[in-house]
Amino acid sequence: MESNENSQPKTDLNGGNEENKIHETTTENSDSEPINQEENTIESFVPESRLKLQHFQSKIEAVKKEVGKLIIGQHQLVDQILLAILSRGHVLLEGVPGIAKTMTSKVISKTLSVDYSRIQFTPDLMPSDVLGTSIFNVKTSEFTYKKGPVFSNIVLIDEINRSPAKTQAALFEVMEERQVTNDGIKYKMDLPFFIMATQNPIEQEGTYRLPEAQLDRFIFRIKLEYPSFQEEVDILKRFKNNIKDVSFGQINSILSAGEIEEFQGLIEEVKIEDQLLEYIARIIAETRNHAKLYLGASPRASLSILKSAKAAAAVRGRDFVTPDDIQYVAEPVLNHRIILTPETEMEGATAEDVIAEIIQKIEVPR
């Protein structure tokens, strides 16, 4: 693909990357305007779109640095949550209790200067507890709509599968259309709007399986594993003198609501070749015809791969998508959208195994 070759950063004789050199120079002088010579260097070697990506990348790296003040490891988790935010999607975090699902969500929300709310899902939670309800005003003799906690920029839904289907279904409209309808009146959400939901594995007692229609509205399902031995040692060292009190005050806000929307618009400008669109379509088509799958992925999955692959390319400093970007996001996009056949489940295979098999089978465009 010619556009890919033309977009690659130049390499100097010392093996350094010209783009990285420029980035380091501008970072050191971030508090003051760069001198004219530096401006000329940037204009000479970096296209205008790359200038935007440099600022974008520096902000994303700053967010990751802030998260790292409290969270040990979980680098891929943080990366994928940021990709989901940039792609205007929602994220479902799945893992056993106690592996920092909720804490990671809270720390990331602290790095964003936007409104934040948390909803603890329980078996007796009603839809009105989430969306809000109409309350009769005695003075005006009219009903007034009192908005629920879902009206926020970032909403953390803790243990989403602790509530029955009735309450879970209340999220369908707000997740897809960014609005809530009450008594025939539509109430738009403030943008950006992003839901991070956590859930325990369905084998845990007292949980309900999320309906497929709701799962499909999450751009990613991210499965969290236990930390490695060294990461667990690092966790103990960090909190050995202060186990109970986790201070979020040390986390600085990096991105404002306006910057998030600006970066979301920037992601849409990332280029993708038609042959890569066909590559995405072939992956999705294979899920619908695979012998080990009872249910394949929907067109919403195709669009989710497209959006998140663009975000992955931008985070990696490119204004064009490569097959690596598509392969990186395919697993978290698809793992909750496909259903294995009973025979496949009995054999011990997982959705991730089948996705890896599909990625291996489909020929990569050149």
Q: Residue ranges per domain, the chain?
A: 66-255, 270-366
The rounded distance, in Å, linking the Cα atoms of 61 and 42 is 20
Assigned CATH for 66-255: 3.40.50.300
The per-residue pLDDT for 101 is 85
The per-residue pLDDT for 246 is 64
The per-residue pLDDT for 17 is 47
The per-residue pLDDT for 244 is 61
Average of pLDDT values for 127-135?
A: 90
pLDDT > 70? residue 10: no
Nearest Cα to Cα of residue 83 among 214, 288, 260: 260
Q: In what order do the strands lie in the sheet with 220-223?
A: 116-120, 154-158, 194-199, 91-94, 220-223
Average of pLDDT values for 107-123?
A: 90
Average of pLDDT values for 154-173?
A: 89
Highest mean pLDDT among 44-53, 232-241, 316-325: 316-325
Q: Which CA distances in Å does 23 have to 58, 88, 230, 274, 329?
A: 9, 27, 32, 31, 26
Q: Are 326 and 282 in contact (CB under 8 A)?
A: no
SS3 call for 112: strand
83-87, 233-237, 274-278, 335-339: the lowest-pLDDT one = 233-237
Confidence of residue 74 (pLDDT cuts 50, 70, 90): confident
The per-residue pLDDT for 213 is 86
Domain 270-366 has CATH 1.10.8.80: yes
Confidence of residue 170 (pLDDT cuts 50, 70, 90): confident
Q: Are 134 and 144 in contact (CB under 8 A)?
A: yes
pLDDT > 90? residue 210: no
The per-residue pLDDT for 104 is 87
- How confident is the prediction for the chain on average, in pLDDT? 83
pLDDT in tens, 77-95: 999 999 999 999 999 999 8
pLDDT in tens, 241-266: 776 666 777 888 999 999 999 999 99
pLDDT in tens, 15-25: 444 444 434 44
The per-residue pLDDT for 143 is 86
Q: Are 21 and 281 in contact (CB under 8 A)?
A: no
